[in-house]
Structure 1
């Protein structure tokens, strides 16, 4: 595995390879969820590139950029064990200049749900993803379904800009108790983690309701909010949309996503299921 910090060096190395390339963009602090993406990329491509960069442009002023978990040495070992070919670890001055051409997320789909709570967040996400795509020129790029809205917007960017890369959605990886894996889970205390389990439990309840042919979105959402009810849980949203992130009134089988965002203590958690 080669660890590279320089853009031109990485571009030159990949151009010489002349092989199919799988890219896994991350912000580090790698866990089993990231590992599942890397393994899928390893299986489907001749060359695998993992990027680790905590991207400042997708954090709002009051968010956790400075304390976002960083585990560089552990991440390097994980990537080596997963047989990554190139680990790209640039710094902020490598990726950004003082006066940048900016990319704007679409006006509608980036200002609902996550975008409503985090205005400008998706501008930063798309900006860094576009940069990484232009540096790596991947055949395939791997994104987790847990960040469903991000995944949708990246796919839209690829379509709107006629980019020659296939976006591969990857399933959510969970702990044995159902909690969706996230780098931010380390912020949870023991008691807060117990409360966090209500998030996946509410989604399981929604799934059971659908199996039992309850397809009314309002009914499902109310049941989920009841399941999430707790003095320690602040519900930011419970929403049901189709795969284009349009709000729907009735579940559309094989075309719906049920999404949850909550705050427990100081930790913000998101989760979802695809119906």
Structure 2
């Protein structure tokens, strides 16, 4: 379990150990803040120190803030935490994934990727007031679209190497995110549409079913490059998510932002 908050992570790990009866040493924790690319590199080094292979990688960290905030590397914070950190971590752990007979990469995206209405820009020009790198890559929807484009690119580049990559939307989940003071957009949405969210929202265990299905179901071990909703493959993707040229641009700019060379062709 790679988590930002070690106190919460340990409590969850202990609950898993207690409910499953598994050997306590089989549930391990490593610290990870996906908004900081240097901490992502530190996390990967720790994983290599303890693991000989990796069967499933689930990229599931996410934030949504309503104001401009920069990451440690001066990228927009939401984009860095939701996409760049996962992009880099996946890249760094590919050698471990390749050591499994068949392994899976799962990127948790969101239906919000469909609400983008403008063409994405890949500008190097910083905004005067923030010195933000790549100011065109701002917002929750763009970060979630980037995760789908990342998945699509991985499925093509890893074809025939024993690794599949898929993305998913878990549905509206009744988690603590709706009450977090740091999540300004969610609080506003909850105030306006609270009764709807309470009606359609899923409990955490229900929301996790598709994720568990993608990670463990045997028939899916050769399925790659797909987007899942409600325990099945979905075609409810935006035109941006199907754009192969945009996919290539997103891959190239993500590689550059993470300071990577072409390891996966």
Report the TM-score range of the alignment, normalised by the length of the smaller protein: 0.3 to 0.5
Scaled by the length of structure 1, the TM-score of the pair is 0.32
Scaled by the length of structure 2, the TM-score of the pair is 0.33
